[in-house]
Amino acid sequence: MEAERALRKAKLTTPRAAAFAGILFSVLLITSLVLIRISVPADLQDAGSWLSGRWNSVNLALNMVPFAGIAFLWFIGVVRDRLGQDEDRFFATVFLGSGLLFLAMLFASTAVAGGILNFYGADTDMLIGSGIYTFGRTVAYEIMNVYAMKMAGVFMISTCTLSLRTGIIPRWMAFLGLILAVFLLLSIGFFSWASLILPLWVLLISVHILIANMGRPSDEPVP
């Protein structure tokens, strides 16, 4: 009896854990991306003059990314736990793999950008004059806005497909996610704010999960 009660309580707290993790990931990543977008010129060929006045803002944004990544990893784990026995092995593999690849590329892009900032603090003239700045910016941009965003689109597609099969989120959210994922896959390079699509979508479903489970009685089954 006690074991069954503990298991029921664990299952009831899983959706809320997913919601809190998703909200934390979304808020941190959105804040980081917005700070970077408003601080760093869109032109990859810029001379780096923005570094002197906006170094602190970008450094703060980059330091948020590891915590966003931890929350995203937690979000993936609790969603898989939420699926339980209903998890489809094929789509679950794509879901997990694309999520981890997105996270790895997000960290790689952030590490390159962080290296540029550290180099700037150590030797400003050498960074700008050697071409390392231009090379580093281009590599960070390509990793984040091409490869990471493609994996974000695949993650959304697999998540929405699993949701349509299991009903863990409303169908309209799943269809909206599919539309946004296709847009994400096709629009990189044409829409500079496309990187916000994944965290905004995760925020939407996380808030829905949190509201749906708020005040639920302990003996009521999770939908």
Predicted confidence (pLDDT) per residue in 24-33, tens digit: 999 999 999 9
DSSP string, 159-182: HHHHHHHH-SS-HHHHHHHHHHHH
Q: Does 222 have pLDDT greater than 50? A: no
Q: Which residues of 1-27 are buried (b: 16+ CB within 10 A; e: fewer)?
A: eeeeeeeeeeebebbbbbbbbbbbbbb
- Note whether 145 and 125 are within 8 A (CB): no
Q: What is the pLDDT of residue 129?
A: 66
Distance (Å, whole) CA 12 – CA 209: 12
Q: Kindly report the pTM of this predicted structure.
A: 0.82
For residue 155, give the amino acid letter. F
Q: Does 135 have pLDDT greater than 90? A: no
Q: What is the pLDDT of residue 124?
A: 62
Per residue in 148-189, pLDDT (tens digit) is 999 999 999 998 988 888 877 889 999 999 999 998 888 766
Work out the average pLDDT over 49-71: 85
Q: If we measure between CA atoms, which residue out of 215, 53, 205, 72 comes closest to residue 148?
A: 72
Q: Where are the domains of the chain?
A: 2-212
Instruction: Indicate the average pLDDT of the chain.
Output: 80
Is the C-alpha dihedral spanning 122, 128, 131, 135 positive or negative?
positive
Percent of the chain at pLDDT > 90 equals 33
For residue 179, with 0-12 CB atoms within 10 Å meaning exposed, 13-18 middle and 19 or more buried, which class applies?
exposed
Q: Does 7 have pLDDT greater than 70? A: no
